[in-house]
């Protein structure tokens, strides 16, 4: 299971540019990663947000569908995440990041699996 975070602040969603592996570098995604043994999905997502962005978060509700990855050997599951205590994300492991408005959602080359997640965002971004 791969979990990832949709973080929305003031009508913009955080998009992150991968730096590796070479075939995914330059593609955009939501921060997240693999659920490790013994972790819940929400714990894993909070850990990944701390590691990748340096922020504390509260993990909320699911966003979009489960998306099969890697020929069905993994699943991408996305949650809405709220930043705690005014923490501000930094690109600690990504090449860059951007806060996208609803009109900018198609302005970055998303990883293919993220396309159905991105399609679920306009109502959330319009509040
Ligand atoms: N984090 C994340 N991964 C995604 C997204 N969409 C998508 O297809 N993936 C894929 C890319 C990778 O094959 C896999 C997640 O790998 P990762 O490298 O982020 O996970 P990780 O931090 O646990 O990996 P590792 O380097 O510790 O092995 O899921 C997404 O929106 N966010």
Q: What is the tally of helices (H) and strands (E) in the chain?
A: 3, 7
Min mean pLDDT across 23-27, 99-103, 111-115, 123-127 is at 123-127
Identify the pLDDT of residue 72.
Answer: 87
Whether the CA torsion 124, 86, 57, 94 is positive or negative: it is positive
2-125 is classed CATH 3.30.70.1380: no
For 64, phi then psi, to 5°, come to: 70, -175
The model's pLDDT over 58-116, given as tens digits with 9 standing for 90+, comes to 999 999 999 999 888 999 999 999 999 999 999 999 999 999 999 999 999 999 999 99
| pLDDT for the residue 70 | 80
pLDDT at 109: 98
Neighbour count for residue 83 (Cβ, 10 Å): 19
Q: Is 32 in the pocket of ligand 1 (CB under 6 A)?
A: yes
From the CA of 4, give the closest atom in ligand 1. 32
Domain boundaries, given as residue ranges, for the chain: 2-125
In this prediction the ipTM stands at 0.94
Mean pLDDT of the chain: 97
- Percent of the chain exceeding pLDDT 70 equals 100
- Choose among 48, 61, 56: nearest CA to 2: 48
pLDDT band at 1 (very low <50, low <70, confident <90, very high): very high
Residue among 13, 21, 29 to mutate when testing ligand 1 (max atoms within 8 A of CB): 29
Position 62 scores a pLDDT of 98
């Amino acid at each position: 299971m791969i979990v990832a975070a949709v973080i929305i602040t003031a009508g913009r969603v955080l998009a992150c540019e991968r730096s590796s592996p070479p075939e995914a570098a330059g593609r955009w995604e939501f921060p997240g990663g693999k659920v490790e043994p013994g972790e819940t999905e929400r714990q894993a997502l909070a850990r990944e947000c701390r590691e990748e962005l340096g922020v504390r978060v509260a993990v909320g509700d699911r966003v979009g569908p489960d998306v099969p990855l890697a020929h069905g050997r993994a699943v991408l599951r996305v949650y809405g995440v709220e930043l705690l205590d005014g923490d501000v994300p930094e690109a600690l492991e990504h090449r860059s990041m951007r806060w996208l408005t609803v009109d900018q959602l198609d302005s970055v080359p998303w990883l293919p699996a993220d396309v159905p997640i991105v399609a679920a965002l306009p109502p959330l971004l319009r509040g």
